[in-house]
């Protein structure tokens, strides 16, 4: 449904997007992860035909964003990271305006607006002034706006920002419903743990380059094969660091907040052995824990975290 091929967009010396390629199948939800300045918004604006690449191309439903932007717009809904709203406009008027912009007329337009109001659960807001809504509710209306012409592809730039925990759960349910309905979704976020629950797969971008792509499961398994362990001793750590470094599979021992943290290349049995050896050597082990691996770790591990 979505295919990017060597997309490039530079701004006066900044390689915002520097040869980005990936694809998303119909009905799938792809998370687009990256630190500030990674190139997420620039990529998404090109996909939404608001900007053009210097080289490369992207196809949505087979249409090129460069050669067929009109056709792309008909099947694509875009929600920018900052959704502008208009003064003195009610929710109904706001959605009606965008329905008109998409050439919906008469009964079809009225139906589109009422369907979206119902689907988004914003019936109570119908006559409220958009400007007066809270950030979370504005976001909901903005998502409704992106959906008004029943697009097959949704491009959402940080849609879960500004949402409280409950609204996030509702948002997740909504996205899963849209995907079940056959819509394809690309969404960016910094809230990595959120992505793991919403997305089928994730693509990690940094400094305009794709660093990793895969299902959330695959990427997590990749991380889990390298465990991060942590030991806290009662009293002094004298000699513990050296002892750990001498053990098989132990790497990069360092102290962090009173704990000795290290990478461990072994499996469960090796970990049990390691704990036995620590105790047998007389170290007063107060705590021993395996650092929970998640997308947050991947993000730190896989990106150098450099802001450009």
Ligand X SMILES: Nc1ncnc2c1ncn2[C@@H]1O[C@H](COP(=O)(O)OP(=O)(O)OP(=O)(O)O)[C@@H](O)[C@H]1O
The contact set with ligand X (CB under 6 A) reads 11, 14, 16, 34, 36-42, 308
User: Which of Mg ion, ligand X, none binds 14 (CB below 5-8 Å, type-dependent)?
Assistant: ligand X
Find the part of the chain contacting Mg ion (CB under 5 A) among 17-25, 37-45, 71-79, 83-91.
37-45
- Nearest distance from C-beta of residue 197 to ligand X, angstroms: 20
Residue among 20 and 228 whose Cβ is closer to Mg ion: 20
- If one asks whether residue 42 binds Mg ion (CB under 5 A), the answer comes out as no
What's the angle, vertex CA 280, arms to CA 276 and CA 284, rounded to 5?
Answer: 95
As a residue count, the chain comes to 308
- If one asks whether residue 41 binds Mg ion (CB under 5 A), the answer comes out as yes
**Tokens describing residue 189:** 């976020």
- Nearest distance from C-beta of residue 46 to ligand X, angstroms: 10
- Nearest distance from C-beta of residue 7 to ligand X, angstroms: 12
Residue 267: burial class (beta carbons within 10 Å; 0-12, 13-18, 19+): exposed
User: Which of Mg ion, ligand X, none binds 142 (CB below 5-8 Å, type-dependent)?
Assistant: none
Residue among 11 and 86 whose Cβ is closer to ligand X: 11
Residue among 163 and 228 whose Cβ is closer to ligand X: 163
**Angstrom distance (rounded) from CA 221 to CA 195:** 16
Residue among 75 and 212 whose Cβ is closer to ligand X: 212
Count of Cβ atoms closer than 10 Å to residue 14 Cβ:
15
User: Which of ligand X, Mg ion, none binds 53 (CB below 5-8 Å, type-dependent)?
Assistant: none
- Nearest distance from C-beta of residue 251 to ligand X, angstroms: 31
Residue among 45 and 149 whose Cβ is closer to ligand X: 45
Q: Specify whether the CB–CB gap between 17 and 190 falls below 8 A.
A: no
**Angstrom distance (rounded) from CA 296 to CA 303:** 11
**Tokens describing residue 265:** 């290349």
Region at 154 (left for phi over 0; alpha for psi -120 to 50; beta for the rest): beta
* Distances 164 to 14, 16, 170, 303 between C-alpha atoms, Å: 34, 30, 10, 27
**Angstrom distance (rounded) from CA 138 to CA 128:** 11
**Tokens describing residue 158:** 């940080």
102 closest CA partner among 116, 88, 82, 87: 116
- Nearest distance from C-beta of residue 143 to ligand X, angstroms: 18
Residue among 41 and 139 whose Cβ is closer to Mg ion: 41
Q: Specify whether the CB–CB gap between 87 and 79 falls below 8 A.
A: no
**Angstrom distance (rounded) from CA 57 to CA 34:** 21
**Tokens describing residue 201:** 């797969």
- Nearest distance from C-beta of residue 307 to ligand X, angstroms: 8
User: Which of Mg ion, ligand X, none binds 173 (CB below 5-8 Å, type-dependent)?
Assistant: none
What residue number has its CB nearest to Mg ion? 41
- Nearest distance from C-beta of residue 158 to ligand X, angstroms: 7
- If one asks whether residue 43 binds Mg ion (CB under 5 A), the answer comes out as no
Q: What is the residue-wise DSSP string for 267-278? A: -HHHHHHHHHHH
Residue among 96 and 158 whose Cβ is closer to ligand X: 158
Residue among 19 and 37 whose Cβ is closer to ligand X: 37
- Nearest distance from C-beta of residue 218 to ligand X, angstroms: 23
User: Which of ligand X, Mg ion, none binds 86 (CB below 5-8 Å, type-dependent)?
Assistant: none
Binding site for Mg ion (CB under 5 A): 40-41
């Amino acid at each position: 449904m979505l295919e990017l091929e060597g997309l490039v967009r530079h701004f006066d010396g900044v390689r915002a997007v520097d040869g980005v390629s990936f694809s998303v199948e119909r009905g799938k939800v792809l998370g687009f992860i990256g630190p500030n300045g990674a190139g997420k918004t620039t990529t998404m604006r090109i996909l939404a035909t608001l900007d053009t690449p210097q080289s490369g191309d992207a196809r949505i439903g087979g249409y090129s964003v460069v050669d067929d932007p009109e056709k792309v717009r008909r099947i694509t809904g875009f929600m920018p990271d900052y959704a502008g709203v208009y003064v003195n406009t009610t929710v109904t008027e706001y959605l009606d305006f965008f329905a008109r912009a998409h050439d919906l007329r008469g009964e079809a337009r009225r139906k589109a607006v009422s369907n979206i109001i119902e689907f988004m659960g914003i019936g109570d807001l119908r006559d409220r002034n958009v400007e007066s809504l809270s950030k979370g509710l504005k976001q909901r209306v903005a998502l409704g706006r992106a959906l008004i012409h029943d697009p097959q592809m949704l491009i959402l730039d940080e849609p879960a920002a500004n949402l409280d925990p409950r609204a996030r759960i509702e948002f997740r349910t909504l996205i899963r419903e849209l995907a079940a309905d056959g819509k394809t979704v690309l969404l960016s976020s910094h809230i990595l743990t959120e992505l793991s629950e919403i997305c089928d797969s994730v693509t990690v971008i940094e400094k305009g380059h794709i660093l990793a792509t895969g299902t959330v499961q695959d990427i997590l398994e990749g991380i889990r094969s390298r465990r991060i362990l942590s030991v806290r001793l009662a009293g002094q750590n004298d000699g513990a660091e050296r002892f750990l470094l001498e053990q098989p599979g132990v790497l990069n021992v360092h102290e962090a907040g009173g704990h000795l943290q290290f990478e461990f290349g072994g499996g469960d049995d090796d970990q049990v052995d390691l704990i036995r050896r620590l105790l047998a050597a007389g170290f007063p082990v107060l705590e021993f824990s395996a650092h929970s691996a998640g997308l947050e770790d991947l993000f730190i591990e896989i990106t150098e975290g450099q802001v450009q």
